[in-house]
Amino acid sequence: MMKFDHLNLPVSNLERSRDWYVGALGLNVEFEVPDTRTVALNDGEGFAIFLQEKTGVAPNGVALWFQVDDVDASYAQWSARGVAFAHAPRKNFWGYGPELADPDGYLWCPYAHHPARSWS
């Protein structure tokens, strides 16, 4: 078996990014390592994202997809909290959902899993 468990994302401002991931995406702070300017965030399903402050951060086309129960309901809830999206939920090459960017420009794409749907 192989299962992704952790992802490290370099960020330009740790506090700003931590606040965005917690406030916008609803991730939970698992722990912080002040010596390395790192915070571990958890999605509640066992996947951890390490945000680590670095200089010269560039997203380089990185895009991350995450599954939600209901795309339209999540979009409405997050929009009401002031989350800015690049576009509303729509059919994309990767499925149905909106797109949003974090403070460093990493693209996040929430989607709902619909195995019977064809997106072509």
3-state helix, strand, coil in the chain (%, to 5): 20, 40, 40
For the chain, what are the domain ranges? 6-111
Q: Over range 87-114, report the average pLDDT.
A: 89
Instruction: Please give the structure tokens belonging to residue 13.
Output: 């401002």
Fold of 6-111: 2,3-Dihydroxybiphenyl 1,2-Dioxygenase; domain 1 (3.10.180)
Q: Residue 55, exposed/middle/buried by CB under 10 A (0-12, 13-18, 19+)?
A: exposed
| The predicted structure's pLDDT at residue 16 | 97
Q: How confident is the model at residue 61 (pLDDT cuts 50, 70, 90)?
A: confident
Q: What is the pLDDT of residues 17-55, one digit of tens each?
A: 999 999 988 899 999 999 999 999 998 888 999 999 999
Give pTM, 2 decimals: 0.84
DSSP H or E run through 78:
helix 71-80
Among residues of the chain, what percentage have pLDDT more than 90?
A: 62
| The predicted structure's pLDDT at residue 113 | 67
CA distances, 28 to each of 42, 49, 107 (Å): 5, 10, 19
Answer with the residue of higher pLDDT: 117 or 99. 99
Asked if the model's pLDDT at residue 81 lies above 60, the reply is yes
Place of tokens 């979009």: 75
